[in-house]
Structure 1
């Protein structure tokens, strides 16, 4: 059942993977969720997520938009406000990988990741601010990564983008506070997902060995942190912080 005090939460890149897990968790909590997807190939997954959220007691709509394109983001927020009246919470989750060593990385592989993973967060945050600042309340949760903190071979583009998201989180938290908008980041570690599912099992076993908790994380563990930062009254006084959900992998790095 949709909660009486339901928030409108926009989750970018939420037709699958971690974004979908976050969206479903919020739907289960009775919120109104906007499922964002980028391409026609993701529409089926987005529509399925909408129906699942409704079956869990929340409400949802799906909106197609490319995070790397400002005009597309502007249109997404306009449609969101038209359908749900406002947007209370923005969760910047959309991201891609184009992994390869620096010496082999093509300019487009670098730019694609920067455009989606970093510039997309900026464009969405800017569009959200225009909506939330009028109400003088709102919450932004940026999904960064421990790779943005500790680096990873073959992911210079991804590490640069996710590190940039952390820096942007701090700056935006200071800038947006005057309008009652909090900005925080979550840095997941190795999380079970469609991306890790394609990795070699022996490799994942080696990864688990260097994680203090000796296992990969679960999507719902990241979703739980996102729900807290998005909805809990206890998070009203939290802004400009980064929360690791990483099994301890960043300890000592």
Structure 2
């Protein structure tokens, strides 16, 4: 019995660590992606140049788009690890809890439930739409274009308000997910022990706000005519 508990505990720790590490990879990608998106304010030439530069990054050591494919593989692996770890840990937590907690505890858990689980579903749907819209040019509100700048500007025109609304809702979900995820990840890695909890919470909130605002600025600027 002791060996089984020890194995289960070790498995849980491994899953939490995998979830935290994959989360760090995704956060770093979000920050880098946000930086690239903000180049839209530098104009079409700068934005398209940045997008094209990513395709040739590492050339000739890497083939054309080689760097992007490495990033895509790492991201896909991180996402799958993150989702798998979250799903297994959630199932284990439900089995372990049973009916021991009172109503107040269930209410407290609702925050994590909606921001991490249902928010995660919204984010997953958004990622698929985002790739089809701005990467593969498959979905093209406002018209298809070989220019990354034009695809972004075309897609967030006022007449396509529903695209902007979906984008805004999804980015806000990302913000909540980041806030709770960073805090949980720090806890998993043992970094949010007192007296550092206040600082860690501040860092989590700051990163979530920066990423949320950074991703919202380009589409909102297009919608309100600040970028055209």
TM-score range, shorter chain: under 0.3
Asked which structure has the greater CA Rg, the reply is 2
Select the structure with the greater relative contact order (CA < 8 A; seq sep ≥ 6): 2
**What TM-score do the two structures reach when normalised by structure 1?**
0.26
Higher strand share: 1
**What TM-score do the two structures reach when normalised by structure 2?**
0.28
